[in-house]
Amino acid sequence: MLVRLIYASRVQPDVGPGDIDQILQVSQANNARDGITGALCYTGSVFLQCLEGGRDQVNAAYHRIVADARHSDPLLLGLREIAQRDFTEWGMGYVGYTAENRALFLKYCPRPEFDPYTMSGASVEALFQALIGVARWKSAR
């Protein structure tokens, strides 16, 4: 059975671009092994991540991820069964919060700044739908 899980978390203050590269490299490797796909959004202060895959695999990954000291305050925004994946091309795609895509992020937010903690499950799902064509692999520097 396939599920999609979406959560938000707060980035620890000492986390920088090198950490993001490391997280994405480990995620690509582990998620390919576990049949998980998805995308990670990083704004500098919050993460928003979508994980798709088998229920047991997504559950195990989520438990591993929320125990990671590089972020805190995980908020589960959505967990549901799905008929098919959205992020078929990405073991873990990356979407930065840039001047170019700011309007896209804000389209689904109730406030003038992007804050996933204020968003409904339906809105975060709609945001990830819109980000399917935007996700990229962030290469290690």
Ligand X SMILES: Cc1cc2nc3c(=O)[nH]c(=O)nc-3n(C[C@H](O)[C@H](O)[C@H](O)COP(=O)(O)O)c2cc1C
Positions touching ligand X (CB under 6 A) are 23, 26-27, 30-31, 40, 47, 49, 51, 61, 64-65, 68, 70-71, 92
Identify any residues that bridge with 78 across adjacent strands, giving them in sequence order.
6
Instruction: Output the smallest distance, CB 8 to ligand X, in A.
Output: 10
Contact residues for 118 (Cβ-Cβ < 8 A; gap 6+): 109, 110, 111
Look at residue 105 and give its three-state secondary structure: helix
**Complex with ligand X: residue 12 or 110, whichever CB lies closer:** 12
Sheet harboring 93-96: ordered strands across?
71-81, 2-11, 46-54, 37-42, 93-96
Instruction: Output the smallest distance, CB 69 to ligand X, in A.
Output: 8
**Complex with ligand X: residue 21 or 123, whichever CB lies closer:** 21
**Complex with ligand X: residue 67 or 103, whichever CB lies closer:** 67
CA distances from 88 to 27, 35, 49 (A): 15, 10, 15
Nearest-CB residue for ligand X: 30
Instruction: Output the smallest distance, CB 65 to ligand X, in A.
Output: 4
